[in-house]
Amino acid sequence: MLAPHSPTWAGAFESEAAVIVAALSDLPLELHHIGSTAIPGIVAKPVIDMLGIVPAVEVLDTRVHDLTSLGYEALGEFGIPGRRYFRKTAPDGVRTHQLHAFAVGSSEAQRHLDFRDFLRAFPAEAAAYSTLKRGLAARCGGDMHAYTNGKTAFIGGIERRAAAWRRSARGL
């Protein structure tokens, strides 16, 4: 389930991002590497999480075929209003990539970027998150619901601190 951080994850993001940008070349699109694979030194499920920022997510509803032709499955909002979620699975059934797309100015997009940037800037916090994830994986086994729930309080605390850190860094 969890793997030690791999320096190949950044390159995997860059390669896949280039493919997506090419497929949607006429669409203004920002792609960011997010999630645990984007944070050096921590354990992660080896799935590359990408954050796409577009002018309006509804435009992706008309471009689903461009992403499905790349091997992505379109799942709509998938539990988060204002999001478009796509996932890519290898022929052996292993998920390799996830694309979470939001509109420009989305608080959800900012939350993901704040979390990533905060943990990159504060390695001790990233190490604490990694330790928590290892412990949960050992206790929860394959129960992904329990594993995810076990991270909720920690993630919420980091998200609040990360948003405050971003605002203070910008003098807001």
> pLDDT class for 141, splitting at 50, 70, 90?
confident
pLDDT at position 87, please?
A: 98
Maximal C-alpha separation, the chain? 49
Q: Which domain holds residue 74?
A: 8-169
Would residue 147 count as lying in a domain?
Answer: yes
Would residue 73 count as lying in a domain?
Answer: yes
pLDDT at position 170, please?
A: 77
pLDDT at position 95, please?
A: 96
> pLDDT class for 132, splitting at 50, 70, 90?
very high
Q: How many domains does the chain have?
A: 1
State mean pLDDT over 16-20. Answer: 98
Would residue 103 count as lying in a domain?
Answer: yes
Angle at 113 between CA 142 and CA 7, to 5 degrees: 65
Would residue 2 count as lying in a domain?
Answer: no
pLDDT at position 172, please?
A: 61
Query: Do residues 33 and 13 touch, judged by C-beta distance below 8 A?
Result: yes
Would residue 1 count as lying in a domain?
Answer: no
Strand 95-103 and strand 48-54: pairing? parallel
**Which CATH number belongs to the domain containing residue 57 in this structure?**
3.30.460.10
Would residue 3 count as lying in a domain?
Answer: no
> pLDDT class for 80, splitting at 50, 70, 90?
very high
Would residue 72 count as lying in a domain?
Answer: yes
Would residue 97 count as lying in a domain?
Answer: yes
Mean pLDDT of the chain: 96
pLDDT at position 125, please?
A: 97
In percent, the amount of the chain with pLDDT more than 90 equals 96
The predicted-structure confidence for 60-73, as pLDDT tens digits, reads as follows 999 999 999 999 99
Residue 115 CA to residue 1 CA, distance in Å, equals 22
